[in-house]
Amino acid sequence: RGYKDVSLHQKPRYAIVRRVPNTFSQCITMEKLSKGIDLRLARQQHSEYIRVLKELVDEVIELPMDDAYPDCPFVEDTAVVSGSTALVTRPGAASRRGEVEVVRETLKFLGLKVFEVCSPGLLDGGDVLHVDGMLLVGKSRRTNDEGVQALASAFPEMQVVPVEVSEGLHLKSVLSFVGQHTLVVEETHNAQEMVRIIQQACMLESIMVSIPGAANVLRVGNTIVYPSFYGRDWESQYMLFAEKVIPVDISEFHKGDGGLTCLSIIIP
Ligand code: CIR
């Protein structure tokens, strides 16, 4: 692997995060939790996540929590940003729709050109993966065809590749981008099938991780942030793709079906 993606090595200007509400333990979960969410630990982990992000972007914007929205720390779902354009989503879960308001205002304040997903469109940012000038988008329980269409309209210069997500929550629940035209993907049949569809549309390579949930890593600039919760087995592999590799534990957010990417919106 003798080349580097120049664009990936630029430090983004902002990361938007949203603080953990008092109601966080009532967030949506696909399965009933055997062990509840520890709010104090979640807040500690969130602070650590922010501390790491502060090293990787110019400025971290911390939006206030809102107890009316237990899922609000999963801020990634509320907007897709590329270049100077933002698409404010219409989240698939009705209880999360109001989360977009403060995010929309923030994106406008930052001077981005802001588009909206309109009804009946549904789109969660967790279904959108930006790779090499393309947008891979999961058609999932949260994102429908109209949502995919809204994405294509907001970013007409980008190739949009729809991918059926038949299991799990989002596209990025099972795969993400490590850099150098390569995805990290769960070893499950479902995730491998998704990669097969992606590879029919574009030239991307893949590496595998064997534990469900471990394939959601956050690539920011020249760094890969990965979930240490699943062990450090893949760290040496990630080091082939980035100059720096940082483990972060977000076990309490995993309980709420979220990964590392879910907790921020990165603005180039
Ligand atoms: C939800 O079900 O909407 C949240 N509990 C988890 C959202 C995770 N977000 C993401 O993967 N982007």
* pLDDT score recorded for residue 7: 55
Question: Which atom of ligand 1 is the closest one to the Cα of 96?
Answer: 3
* Residue closest to 58 by CA, chosen among 110, 123, 116, 135: 110
Low-confidence ranges of the chain (pLDDT < 70): 1-9
Residue 262 among the catalytic residues: yes
* pLDDT score recorded for residue 232: 81
Q: Are 217 and 230 in contact (CB under 8 A)?
A: no
How far apart (Å, rounded) are the C-alpha atoms in residues 100 and 166? 26
Dig out the tokens for 261 from the structure: 């990417």
CA of 72 relative to ligand 1 center, distance in Å: 9
Q: How many helices (H) and strands (E) does the chain have?
A: 6, 15
* pLDDT score recorded for residue 234: 85
157: Cβ contacts below 8 Å, ≥ 6 apart: none
Question: What's the whole-model pTM score?
Answer: 0.95
CA of 256 relative to ligand 1 center, distance in Å: 7
CA of 26 relative to ligand 1 center, distance in Å: 13
**Residues lining ligand 1, Cβ inside 6 A:** 27-28, 71, 74, 76-77, 93, 96, 125-126, 169-170, 172-173, 256-259, 262
How far apart (Å, rounded) are the C-alpha atoms in residues 262 and 239? 22
Q: Which long-range contacts (CB under 8 A, 24 or more apart) does 30-37 make?
A: 30/168, 30/169, 30/257, 33/255, 35/255, 36/255, 37/252, 37/255, 37/256
Residues 65-83 pLDDT 10s: 999 999 999 999 999 999 9
* pLDDT score recorded for residue 8: 60
Point out the catalytic residue in the list 170, 181, 189, 202: 170
Phi, psi of 184 (to 5 degrees): -105, 130
Q: Are 268 and 83 in contact (CB under 8 A)?
A: yes
Residues 154-176 pLDDT 10s: 999 999 999 999 999 999 999 99
